[in-house]
């Protein structure tokens, strides 16, 4: 199953800011990608019925499969992707993975149960480590032909986040800065 649409557009920036020769990603415009990743929370993760679980791994299989179907249905109704159902889920999930992990690294602070306030301010070194982790994932997936993790990183700048962010540390060659 191909996770890259047949219609190519644009190129992908490399670390030097240039375009990778011959690389046509065929991914949707960033505004559609922002809409795509914003469906994951309400359709898959944040539903309170029958209850809210801490992670996908903790959900009973029947609940998880219903939520996956709900997410796929929402993506189809919004006209965001035109793959088959498994392709829609995989593209959405990989894009969300890239988006969420970069967005998490741009927060002012992170959840820290050992802190008296429950939060600790993010320092530059942990931010860079988090970025390196997600970059490793998108690079590994891109080698396999899956551009959706990197695409998720690239749409992060198009999603209105609830919290204030710090993004001046993100490398200029990052897909985060691509229009």
Distance CA 166, CA 149 (A): 21
Task: Record the pTM.
Answer: 0.83
CA angle 1, 159, 149 (to 5 degrees): 30
For the purposes of burial, counting CB atoms within 10 Å of the CB of 117, is it exposed (0-12), middle (13-18) or buried (19 or more)? exposed
Contacts of 99 by beta carbon, 8 Å cutoff, 6+ apart: 37, 152, 153, 155, 156, 159
Q: Which of 78, 76, 105 is nearest to 174 (CA)?
A: 105
Per-domain residue ranges of the chain? 30-177
Question: CB of 25 within 8 A of CB of 147?
Answer: yes
pLDDT tens for the chain, 179 residues long, are 444 443 333 344 443 333 333 334 689 999 999 999 999 999 998 887 778 887 889 899 999 999 999 999 999 999 999 999 999 999 999 999 999 999 999 999 988 899 999 999 999 999 999 999 999 999 999 999 999 999 999 999 999 988 888 999 999 999 999 88
């Amino acid at each position: 199953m191909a996770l890259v649409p047949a219609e190519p557009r644009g190129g992908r920036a490399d670390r030097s800011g240039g375009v990778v020769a011959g690389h046509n990603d065929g991914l949707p415009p960033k505004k559609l990608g922002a809409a795509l990743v914003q469906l994951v929370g309400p359709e898959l993760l944040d539903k309170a019925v029958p209850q809210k679980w801490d992670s996908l791994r903790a959900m009973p299989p029947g609940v998880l499969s219903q939520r996956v179907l709900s997410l796929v249905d929402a993506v189809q109704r919004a006209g965001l992707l035109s793959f088959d159902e498994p392709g829609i889920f995989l593209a959405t999930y990989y894009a969300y993975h890239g988006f969420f992990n970069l967005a998490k690294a741009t927060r002012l602070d992170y959840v820290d149960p050992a802190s008296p306030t429950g939060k600790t301010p993010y320092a530059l070194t942990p931010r860079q480590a988090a970025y390196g982790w997600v970059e490793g994932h998108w690079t590994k997936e891109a080698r396999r032909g899956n551009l959706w993790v990197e695409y998720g990183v690239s749409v992060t700048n198009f999603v209105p986040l609830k919290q204030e962010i710090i993004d001046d540390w993100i490398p200029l060659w990052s897909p985060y800065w691509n229009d």
